[in-house]
Amino acid sequence: MAEDFSSRIESIGNALPEKRLTTKDLMASCRHKISVDMEELTGIHERRVCSEGEDSLTLAKDAALDCLKHSSHKPEDLGLIINCSISKFDKGLSHRYEPPLSLSIKDAIGAPSAMNFDIQNACAGMLTGVSILDLYIRLGIVTCGMVVSGEYISSLNTNAARNIRTIASKQMASLTVGDAGAAVILERAPNDAEGISVSEFTTLSKHSDLCFGRPCKDAPGATMETEARKIHRVAIADSPPILEKALKHSGLTFDKIDYVIPHQTSERSIKSGARHMGERFGVKPKNVVINLHDFGNTASTTHFVALYKYLNEGRFKKGENIMLICFASGLVVGVVIFTMDELIDKYKKEAPK
């Protein structure tokens, strides 16, 4: 099928719980003493966690409304709404599949004519949603739409703290997560706009057993078991060809990428990955975004939490090329590349803290 149009990011919204949980307090809550400085190991000082009355759906709704607040579009302009959250908690820790959360989101924001559906692709969810919506716009099916997610995953913290006995536990990565909502509106780009140049995704299914989540057997919420070091090794070994393919399709070389925003796992892993990218492409990344200190790993929302923060801090310039990279259970590796435009004019400019 021919692609007649291109798309661009028109606005981004965030929703963060008020409650903060420091890594120090989380580690103090562990039933068994763990001999590791978790903050030094991960770079995470604190994360946001839901309080009573907050869940996946409320975070997604609030992020969607914030996105519209920054948008020139009205809710009725949206042709498609895609919810991409891993967690689908509604009314606390009650997991809901039907009706889909996207239906409740579109009703809450007042977009009755929009098509809607949910997808689930682990931490690659929102970027997968962006890729799908980008294709809908390129094919002329819709002119604009929203991708949204609300991640209420802090029960992983609580349940891991009860069970972890040593640093070798497969639940250690569960202590890095935080709750957040994010939303992004994509629209048909004007003819002279560069917008989203490429979205590439690959599933390395032979590594599907390296991370999986399931309902917790003896407490509310979920548990997750992760082979974190193995995932890191796979990402280092198998992602460069995928990045090279994405760059080729975008018509860019790595030295033309101004910001790399990887999935936020741990500071050490991100810096290690950046070094290997520099070695592979023969040039160091210009700017690698590390957004862990205040938010931790917010799963499918992580890239848009980072983008929102940097937009409000006035860090981007028009014409800069942004590369978003996701590594997700499955194992999914995804890349989205876009060019920053007047999106930066919609956000207040605060000095970085």
- pLDDT tens by residue, 248-271: 999 999 999 999 999 999 999 999
Domain of 318 in residue numbering reads as: 196-346
Q: Tell me whether residue 323 is in a domain.
A: yes
Query: What are the residues facing 25 on neighbouring strands?
Result: none
Quick one: 161 and 109 in the same domain? yes
In whole angstroms, give the CA distance from residue 42 to residue 23.
Answer: 10
Give residue 323's identity as a one-letter amino acid code.
M
Q: Tell me whether residue 351 is in a domain.
A: no
Query: How large a percentage of the chain has pLDDT more than 90?
Result: 71
pLDDT at 3: 58
- Residue 70, SS3? coil
Quick one: 223 and 168 in the same domain? no
Confidence label for 1 from pLDDT (cuts 50, 70 and 90): very low
The answer, yes or no, to whether residue 25 has pLDDT greater than 80, is: yes
Question: Residues 6 or more apart from 216 whose CB is under 8 A from it?
Answer: 155, 159, 222, 223
Quick one: 255 and 303 in the same domain? yes
Mean pLDDT of the residues in the chain: 92
pLDDT at 236: 82
Quick one: 237 and 273 in the same domain? yes
| ∠ Cα 336 337 340 (to 5°) | 130
Give the model confidence (pLDDT) of 40-62 as tens digits.
999 999 999 999 999 999 999 99
Q: Tell me whether residue 124 is in a domain.
A: yes
- Residue 328, SS3? strand
Q: At what angle do helices 302-312 and 125-138 cross, to 10 degrees?
A: 80
Q: Tell me whether residue 27 is in a domain.
A: yes
Quick one: 220 and 238 in the same domain? yes
Quick one: 11 and 142 in the same domain? yes
CA 288 to centroid of chain Cα atoms: 15
Question: Residues 6 or more apart from 53 whose CB is under 8 A from it?
Answer: none
* CA-closest candidate to residue 128, choices 307, 326, 260: 326
Do strands 20-22 and 46-48 pair parallel, antiparallel, or not at all (unpaired)?
antiparallel
Give residue 314's identity as a one-letter amino acid code.
G
Q: Which of 141, 165, 188 is the last residue of a domain?
A: 188
Quick one: 207 and 181 in the same domain? no
Quick one: 175 and 213 in the same domain? no
Quick one: 261 and 334 in the same domain? yes
Cα-based distances in Å from 301 to 93, 118, 177, 182, 241:
19, 15, 11, 6, 25
Q: Tell me whether residue 233 is in a domain.
A: yes
CATH code of the domain containing 142: 3.40.47.10
Quick one: 184 and 200 in the same domain? no
Q: How many domains does the chain have?
A: 2
Q: Which of 125, 155, 188 is the last residue of a domain?
A: 188
Quick one: 161 and 230 in the same domain? no
Question: HEC states along 87-110?
Answer: CCEECCCEECCCCCHHHHHHHHHC
Q: Which of 171, 188, 205 is the last residue of a domain?
A: 188
Quick one: 221 and 108 in the same domain? no
Q: Tell me whether residue 335 is in a domain.
A: yes
Q: Tell me whether residue 169 is in a domain.
A: yes
Q: Tell me whether residue 48 is in a domain.
A: yes
| Residue of higher predicted confidence among 258 and 350 | 258
Confidence label for 353 from pLDDT (cuts 50, 70 and 90): low
